[in-house]
Amino acid sequence: MADSRERSKTGEDEPQGAVGGDDVNDERIMEQGAIVLRGYVIERISAENPGRHLAPEDLGGRPNEQEDHQVKNMVQQLLLIADDMNRNAELQHLINRVQVNCAQDVFFSVAREIFADGINWGRVVSLFHLAYKLIYKALTQNHLESIKMVINWVIQFIRENVSTWIRQQGGWEAVISTVSHWRTVSLVAAVAFVTVMVYWRKTR
């Protein structure tokens, strides 16, 4: 489902990608989504703190899962979308107020607000970005038990709310063809995420 509000602001529709077929099933989407999420978190933490090494196994993954060229490409495209969000000072300030040990219902409430007006790749990246920030805090505050929990929350939310949309786009690979579009509207996604975090903070 495209976000009509964002389309009206940007004056263009989001590229829809290929229509999902039998080869783009929910099981594959969830498996690939977990791998891409772990890759996103690993790359962001490496950029934030080059001295801290995080392996896929630390996030519940397999040792060599990030070596696949296609996975690397998808992760890089998501990182490009996230660049402008990461430069937004207000966004970073609000994210930094999120507690590592937040309850699952709080996390899901925030996630639902992110996608309240529709689904697009920018909002998927916002969800990944929230997970990355919580995991980084868990690492630095020695709450290691929270790391896989956050990963599982994201995967569960995607399974229940986003996987059908991703399948309709043609799978996670579709993000590669839409990254140029999202470089032009990532600020809109950042503003939407700031709004969500304000809402979350007020309801704490």
Mean of per-residue pLDDT scores for the chain? 77
According to the model, what pLDDT value does residue 67 have? 92
Q: Classify the phi-psi angles of 11: left when phi > 0, otherwise alpha if psi is within -120 to 50, otherwise beta.
A: left
pLDDT score of 91 more than 90: no
**Out of 87-96, 137-146, 147-156, 191-200, least confident range:** 191-200
According to the model, what pLDDT value does residue 4 have? 39
pLDDT score of 194 more than 70: no
pLDDT score of 11 more than 50: no
pLDDT score of 203 more than 60: no
pLDDT score of 25 more than 50: yes
Percent of the chain beyond pLDDT 90?
Answer: 35
Which range of 21-25, 94-98, 173-177, 193-197 scores highest in mean pLDDT? It is 173-177
Q: How far apart are CA 128 and CA 135, in angstroms?
A: 10
Residue with more model confidence, 58 or 203: 58
Burial 94-127 (b: 16+ CB within 10 A, else e): bbeebebebeeeebeebbebbbeeebbbbbbbbb
The mean pLDDT value for 85-101 works out to: 63
pLDDT score of 191 more than 90: no
pLDDT score of 142 more than 60: yes
Q: Which among 34, 114, 16 has a CA at the least distance from the CA of 71?
A: 34
pLDDT band at 43 (very low <50, low <70, confident <90, very high): very high
According to the model, what pLDDT value does residue 200 have? 54
Percent of the chain beyond pLDDT 70?
Answer: 67
pLDDT score of 193 more than 50: yes
**Out of 61-65, 80-84, 95-99, 180-184, least confident range:** 180-184
Q: How far apart are CA 104 and CA 86, in angstroms?
A: 24
The mean pLDDT value for 140-150 works out to: 87
Angle between helices 145-161 and 121-140 (to 10 degrees): 170
pTM of the model: 0.75
